[in-house]
Structure 1
Amino acid sequence: MRVAIFDFDGTLYAKETFQLMMDHLKNHSVHSRRYRKFYRAIMPPYLGHKLKIYPEAKMRARSVQAYLAALETFSKQELEEYFGEIAELMHDDFNHEVVERLKRHVSNDDYCMLVSGAFTPLLHAVTKELPIKKIIGTEVPYVADVLDHKTPVVHIQGPLKTEKILEELGDAPVDWQNSYAYGDSLSDVPVLELVGHPVAVRPEARLRTLASERNWEII
């Protein structure tokens, strides 16, 4: 069994999901009033990160939690419809070369996985036309089909991506040496190191340097 593992932001999707989500909330015809609460919540960790006194991973996790808090009272259906609105804005910004790689892996009977810190309902909405076998993202907690914004969210990033991948595959006999992984940032390295064919996609400077040193493919 061969696997092909895809990151989302900056890899399969050419832009950044969270920035689009922020803009959507800020300019929403119905829910824009919620943006102020979200903005107040993210500014302290954001400024701390800019001052290099607050870790980026914690800042990102706090931001994800704050976004859900701004959407409190949403039912599961309302949240999925809201993410569907965002998904409709994303289709023109897929990385077409990576999409073609995905389709090629499918034709080769590789097990294709999407692993991202983006919210799982959004990932399902935006990739519903793509032949992905498994999506691992940041799960949204609910209580009685209503968004539970107080429960701490497990933000899928860094080494946790690797942990979730291995958990999903379990005891499956994976041919890691002939498997592929695609990512764009240094935080994707733990996943890229799992496989025999790591691919750096439009990589940030630090990943580009590492990929060049290790003779990884760069697209």
Structure 2
Amino acid sequence: MRVAIFDFDGTLYAKETFQLMMNHLKNHPIHSRRYRKFYRAIMPPYIGHKLKIYPEAKMRARSVQAYLAALETFSKQELEEYFGEIAELMHDDFNHEVVERLKQHVSNEDYCMLVSGAFTPLLHAVTKELPIEKIIGTEVPYEADILAHRTPVIHIQGPLKTEKILEALGDQAIDWKNSYAYGDSLSDVPVLELVGNPVAVRPEPRLRTLASERNWEII
């Protein structure tokens, strides 16, 4: 079996999901009052990251946790409806060339996977019209169908993406040499290195340099 693995932010989706989520909360007609709590929580790790004294991965993980904390009291249904609102704002910003690649892989009977640090309910909502067979994202914890905002969230990023991909594929025989992976940042390299056909999509400078050195395809 061949696989085609797609990153989301900056790859399948041309923009950054978390920035859109921040703006949605800040300007929401009902829930905007929650933004202040979120903002207070993310500023220390964000400033620490900018000062290069706090790792980017930890900053991102704390930001994800803070976002859920700001949505405390949401039921599962309310949260899915909220993410659905955000999904509706995203459809015009898909990377159409990458979407066409996805459809081509489906036609070739490749097993298509989406792997992202974005929240899984949001990924399902925004890609419901796309032929993706497996979605791996940051899971939202619930207790009795209420958001468990104090439960530590496992943010899917970096090497953890590779771990989750291999876990999802299990014992299936994968033709890695003829498989594809798409990503836009240096943090996607562990996933890109899994396959024989890595593709750098609108890559950040560090990934562009690496892709050029290794003769990877660049979109």
Which interval holds the TM-score relative to the shorter structure? over 0.9
Task: Give structure 2 stretches of 5+ with no counterpart.
Answer: none
Q: Deviations over 1:14-58 (max 9, x none)?
A: 000000000000000000000000000000000000000000000
Aligned counterparts of 1:131 and 1:170: Cα–Cα separation in 2? 21
**SS in structure 2 of the partner of residue 85 of structure 1:** helix
Percent of aligned pairs with the same amino acid:
91
Aligned counterparts of 1:140 and 1:164: Cα–Cα separation in 2? 16
Q: Deviations over 1:88-135 (max 9, x none)?
A: 000000000000000000000000000000000000000000000000
Q: CA deviation at 1:195?
A: 0.0
Q: CA deviation at 1:214?
A: 0.1
Aligned counterparts of 2:197 and 2:157: Cα–Cα separation in 1? 21
Q: CA deviation at 1:190?
A: 0.1
Runs of 4+ in 1 over 2 A off after TM superposition: none
Task: Give structure 1 stretches of 5+ with no counterpart.
Answer: none
Q: 2:84 aligned with 1:84, yes or no?
A: yes
Q: Deviations over 1:151-185 (max 9, x none)?
A: 00000000000000000001100000000000000
Q: CA deviation at 1:149?
A: 0.3
How well do the aligned residues superpose, as a CA RMSD in angstroms? Answer: 0.1
TM-score, normalised on structure 1? 1.00
Aligned counterparts of 2:142 and 2:102: Cα–Cα separation in 1? 32
Aligned counterparts of 1:164 and 1:64: Cα–Cα separation in 2? 18
Q: CA deviation at 1:3?
A: 0.0
Q: CA deviation at 1:64?
A: 0.0
Q: 2:171 aligned with 1:171, yes or no?
A: yes
Q: CA deviation at 1:139?
A: 0.0
TM-score, normalised on structure 2? 1.00
Q: CA deviation at 1:212?
A: 0.1
**SS in structure 1 of the partner of residue 174 of structure 2:** coil
